[in-house]
Structure 1
Amino acid sequence: MLAKFIQKLRKKHNLTQEYLASALGISRPTYMQIERGERELTITEAEKLASIFGIPFEDFRRAKDSSITVEIKKEKLKPKSEKQEIRISVPQKNLEKFKEVLLYVLSKVGGKPNVGEAVLYKLLYFIDFDFYEKFEEQFIGATYIKNHYGPTPVEFKIVIDDMIKNGEVVKVEGKYFNYLQRKYLALRRPNLDILSGREIEHIDDVLARLSDKNAKEMEIYSHEDIPWKTAEDGKPLSYESVFYRNEPYSVRNYEDEL
């Protein structure tokens, strides 16, 4: 079977799924479908893999066994004017869930001296993007843009202003080690009926890993994550890029899924 043959060659050459997915221009989950035999290769992809593994195309196509026939789908050429479809183009917004996630985060770590607005931005970013990498589903689905200090949730100001107006949070401005800091404290408990057990567990995991970092540490840490590194200044970060993460940012064990 070609799928097992590819997996065997990848391991023989000590190559990662991430590397081959990047070489083929696809996401890691899509590449994993190839190794599981759930997705056929295009001719271009097959030729690329044969070249990477250093074997003739015909040997690769036959998995070194002439009795095995491998069907390879021909690529369909698309007009240049046709846009390439991606799984997530504009994330589905869920502002009510945004509020409850924010209240939950504030109830857990909002009282920490280091957790001001800048740290909150990064915590929300990792909650959203880590969840998407783990489950290939949207959580909050906020839009995060690339700025000098790291990922910034576009919807944050609208949500927080509404929550302040409704008496759900209070804004406190002060200093943290001589730096101006804007903090938010929760005035009501989060509605946990809106969050699933899996979502709460996920938030707790992110907070356990990152909530002790200060604003500068979070800035530096977020700047090395692939979604931020590959985005253009002032433009939205792509959720799809989480599938190209390296350690320590990747939160999904792809090898266990084979």
Structure 2
Amino acid sequence: MNPIARKIRELREKNNLSQAYLASYLGLSRPTYVLIEQGKRELRLQEAKRLASLFGMTVDQLVQADYSGPKVILEKAEPYGRSENQRTRIIMDRANVKKFKEVLLYVLSRIGARPNIGETALYKILYFIDFDYYEKYEEQLTGARYLRNHFGPTPVEFKQIVEEMVEKREILPIKNKYFGFDQNKYLPLREADLSILSAREIKHIDEVLARLADKNARELTEYAHQDTPWLVHQDGEIISYETVFYRDVEHSVRNYQDEL
């Protein structure tokens, strides 16, 4: 197997994607895509660009055998800087990591123990907390960035922040089953520091939870997939907060008529 074929297979498996999904994403039949992973068909430039976008890297990085994908760096760093091993830094430049942690802890304290709230459901709830707030007040709440993928909006910084919180014993990861499906859950091990959240922000979070916390991951994913910010982006792209102002009536949380 050639290095590029092996690299594509490893990236697919690392991101829990099926061959059928990537084949569809590239506009290929599954047998044709399998030939790419087997090194029996060359990857065309347009296909390489699509895969690079999906995996959050450049085409050059895609074809580098020693490049394993983007890594989230939480500490302050120069934009677009490189670490010694040449991995791309993704800086949570506008997001307040501390604030994201406290919002996550507050959400987990309210709904984390519910059987329907696993990691996938949590992604969508955090997305609606951030994007609904931006639509209503034209200000960012956590400023977290969300990636458009086939599972729905996914917070880019989530994994790295959660790993740090687990290490510091701020949250407890739990492997669970929900209707026979594997589920990753998190429970808080300390109270959220609400002093860094305004009364308006807390009220907003409570309203989102009241509206969405009873939905399961499938229902939340379907709802997110109908939201304009998700619809107007391609897989692998960071979802722009500005697109929230083009929502339909079902998803909009702002009464624009009152502003006329």
TM-score (norm 2): 0.64
Deviation at 1:208, TM superposition (A): 0.4
Name the % identity: 59
Equivalent in 123, 129, 132 of residue 130 of structure 1: 132
Following superposition, the deviation at residue 91 of structure 1 comes to 6.7
Residues 88-127 of structure 1: pairs in structure 2 closer than 5 A: 92-127=94-129
Q: Displacement, 1:145? A: 0.6
**Matched AA of 2:190:** R
Contact 1:144 1:152 in 2 (8 A): yes
Matches within 5 A, 1:189-200: 189-200=191-202
SS at match of 1:101: helix
- 2:171 equivalent to 1:169: yes
Given that 1:91 and 1:143 are in contact with CA atoms closer than 8 Å, whether structure 2 keeps it comes out as no
Q: Which residue of 2 aligns with 1:145?
A: 147
Q: Is residue 239 of structure 1 aligned with residue 241 of structure 2?
A: yes
Please give the residue correspondences for 1:62-81 in structure 2 after superposition, counting only pairs within 5 Å. Answer: none
What is the match of residue 251 of structure 1? 253
Moved over 4 A (4+): none
- State the secondary structure of the residue aligned to 2:153: strand
Report how far residue 92 of structure 1 moved.
1.2
Give, in whole Å, the separation in 2 of the partners of 1:205 and 1:247: 17
Please give the root-mean-square deviation of Cα atoms over the aligned residues, in Å.
1.0
Instruction: Give, as a single letter, the amino acid of the residue that structure 1 aligns with 2:131.
Output: F
Query: Partner of 1:158 in structure 2?
Result: 160
Which structure 1 segments of 5+ residues have no match? 1-89
TM-score if structure 1 supplies the norm length? 0.65
Cα deviation digits, residues 120-141 of structure 1 (max 9, x gap): 0000000000000000001101
The unaligned stretches of length 5 or more in structure 2 are: 1-91
CA distance in 2 between counterparts of 1:120 and 1:225 reads 17
Q: CA offsets per residue over residues 32-57 of structure 1, 9 Å max, x none?
A: xxxxxxxxxxxxxxxxxxxxxxxxxx
Bigger-Rg structure (1/2): 1
Structure-2 separation of matches of 1:257 and 1:128:
22
Match of 2:184 among 166, 175, 182: 182
User: What displacement does 1:149 show?
Assistant: 0.8
Paired residue type of 1:156: F
Q: How many residues align?
A: 169
Letter in 2 for 1:213: K
Letter in 2 for 1:227: P
Which residue of the partner structure matches residue 57 of structure 1? none
SS at match of 1:139: coil
Say if 1:91 and 1:138, in contact at 8 Å, map to a contact too. Answer: no
Q: Which amino acid aligns with 2:241?
A: Y
